[in-house]
Amino acid sequence: MKTHIAACGVSLVVATLAGCGGSSSNNDSAPPTPPISSAAACTALGGTKIAATSIGAPSNGATVASATLVAASSTAGEYCQVNGTIAPVDVTAPNINFEVNLPTVWNKKALQYGGGGFDGTLITGLAALDMAPAGSSTPLARGYVTFGDDSGHQSKSITDGSFAANDEALANYGGLTLKKTHDVAMLLLKARYGTAPAKTYFFGSSTGGRDGLTVIQRSPADYDGIVVNRPALNYTGLRLSNVVLGRALYLNGGSGWLDVNKTVLLENAVMKACDTLDGVADGIISNVAACKLQAPAVLAALRCPAGKDTGDTCLSDAQIATVNTIASPMLLPYPLANGLTRYAGYNILAGSVFAGPYTTRTFGNSPTPSNPAGKSDANQWVTGDQWVKYFITRIPTFNSLTFDPLNPAAYQAQVQRVSAESDATNPDLSAFIAKGGKAIITHGLADEIVSTDSSVDYYNALVQKFGQASVDSFVRFYLMPGVGHGTGPFLPQVDSLGALEQWVENSTAPETLTVTDSTVATAGRTRPLCRYPSWPKYTGGDVNSAASFSCSQ
C-alpha cells in the first residue's frame, strides 16, 4: 500500500520502509516490525511520484519508472537501480532522465556525477571516475549512493546542440537539471534508508567540471566537496572562442587554416624549444611560463619565406596569425556573467595538442568548412557552430562564420542571457566556505578543448576576493603537465576523490599528490602533482619516478 511518509521528512508518495524508524502500532508492547528485505525496499520505490513542490527548481514533478535490485558482482555489491524522469514545465521541452543507485550496504555518503560536451546521454553513476587509478573500486562499489542525469535532453552525440532551441532545455543544461536531480536523489535516498547522507560530493570533468562549480555557486548547502577536472566554467567565453578560432581558420578563403602536417610541425618545434626547460627531455612541457617566452623565436623560425605559404615545411603569415589568435586571450567589449570580458588563450605555443599521435581533434581536413560543421571540420568549430545556431540565433541554417563574437550586434542580449544561465564563473563561494566545503580543481596544461588559463583566471578571482590564506582553506588547484582534454603525452591516474574525502572528513588537506601515467609507451611513470603555481622540476635520478622531481616556482 502506498502511503505518505511524513515521519521521515520526505514529501513523496512511496511505500513505508522500515528504515524510516518507528513501529506498526502505538502499543509499546507490540513486537517491532521486522526489517524489510533489500528486494522489497527496492521494489517499493517503483512507481514513486515526487511532487514539483519537493524539487528546488521549476518542474512538473518526477516519476520513478523502474526500481531493480541488481545482484552483487565482482565489481560492485548489491544495489537498487532506480530510473525515472523529471517532467518539464514547458510540455514541449524534453524530460530529464535520471538514475539513482542505492547500495544495500551504504557508506552514508552520496556522489553526483557531472556530464560532458552538450550532454544528451544518461550519466548512470556506475562508471569509474575520470582519471581514477587502475584497478580502483568505483564509488558505488565503495558503498556510495551515486546518481546522474542526461542534463534534460536526449541525443546520440555530445556535439549536438539542437536541444538549446528550447528555453527550458537550455536552462536545464545550464544548470537547473543538477538541482532537480539532486533533490530527487535525496528524496529517494531518504525513502530507502530513512536518513540523509552524512556527506554529499560531486565529481565531474569538462562540462561536468562546469557542473561541479555550478552546484557550489548556486546550491552550496547541498554539497560538502567537489572534484572538478578541466572545467568548462566560462562556458560562453569558451563557445565564443570556438567561433573566434573558426573565423581565424576559415575566413579570407581559408588562408589561415593549418592542416595536420603544419600543426604537428608547430608542436614539434615548441617541444624542441621547451621540453628541457623543466630539467629533463621527457616529451612533457612542465615549465609553461618559460616556454611561452620562447614563442616569438619559434614562430620566427617557422615562418615561410616572405610569409607566403609554400607547403608543410613552414607557416605563412596568415597561419601564424591564426596561431597567435588561438594563443591570445579573447577580449570582449561587453560583459558576460559576473562581469567577465575575457576568455583566456590556449597553450598552443606551450604544449597543447591540436594534432599528432595523442589526439584526433585536429583543425579538420579542409580550409572550407561544411554548414553545419561536421566531422571533417575543426573539432572546436563544430561546437562553436552548434552554439551559434541553437543557443544564440535559433536559426539552424545560420552561417556561423558571419557571427562576430566581438560584435554580436542584435544577438548580444541573447549571448548575455545564455551566459547568465550557463556559466559557472561566480567567485562568491561565501556560503560554501561557511559550511566547510572543499574543492579540488585540476586542469591539464596541454588542453586543446578548454583553455587551461580559464581555470587559472577563476582561481585568481577567488584569491582576489578572499585572499590566499582563505582560498588555501577550501581549494586545492593543480595543473597537470602533458595532459590534454583526455589526450596528450601523459594520461594521468590519481585518487582525487580519496584526497577530497580525507580533507572533508579528516581535515587532512591535500598537498603534493602523485600522478601515474597510463599512456601505452610510458605507462607507469610517475610525477608529482604540484599545487598551483608550482610545477615539477627534475632534480636528478630515475626520470620515471616522482621522487626525482620537486615542485618549483
- Rounded Cα gap, residues 487 and 490, in angstroms: 8
Q: Give yes or no for a contact between 306 and 296, defined as CB atoms under 8 angstroms apart.
A: no
- Rounded Cα gap, residues 182 and 164, in angstroms: 22
Exposure string for 182-220, b = 16+ CB within 10 A, e = fewer = bbbbbbbbbbbbbeebebbbbbbbbbbbbbbbbbbbbbb
Q: Which residue has the cell 549512493?
A: 145
Annotated active-site residue 206? The verdict is yes
Note the residue count of the chain.
Answer: 553
- Rounded Cα gap, residues 456 and 450, in angstroms: 12
SS (H, E, C) 384-453: HHHHHHHHHCCCCCCCHHHCCCCCCHHHHHHHHHHHHHHCCCCCCCHHHHHCCCEEEEEEECCCCCCCHH
Burial of 531 (0-12, 13-18, 19+ CB in 10 A): middle
The one-letter amino acid code at 478 reads Y
| Selected catalytic residue, list 151, 352, 485, 548 | 485
Q: Give yes or no for a contact between 515 and 493, defined as CB atoms under 8 angstroms apart.
A: yes
Sheet of 475-480: strand order equals 2-4, 12-15, 49-50, 62-70, 79-86, 96-103, 145-149, 109-113, 199-205, 225-229, 438-444, 475-480
Annotated active-site residue 485? The verdict is yes
Q: Which three cell numbers stand for residue 332?
A: 570582449
| Selected catalytic residue, list 206, 352, 451, 548 | 206
Q: Which three cell numbers stand for residue 454?
A: 580559464
Q: Give phi and psi for 526, each to the nearest 5.
A: -125, 155
What residues form DSSP beta bridges with 226?
202, 439
Q: Give yes or no for a contact between 443 and 455, defined as CB atoms under 8 angstroms apart.
A: yes
Q: Give yes or no for a contact between 551 and 529, defined as CB atoms under 8 angstroms apart.
A: no
If DSSP codes are grouped into helix, strand and coil, which group holds residue 139?
A: coil
- Rounded Cα gap, residues 367 and 255, in angstroms: 7
- Rounded Cα gap, residues 66 and 192, in angstroms: 14
| Selected catalytic residue, list 447, 453, 457, 495 | 447
Residue 422: Cβ within 10 Å count:
24
- Rounded Cα gap, residues 239 and 246, in angstroms: 11
Catalytic residues: 206, 447, 485
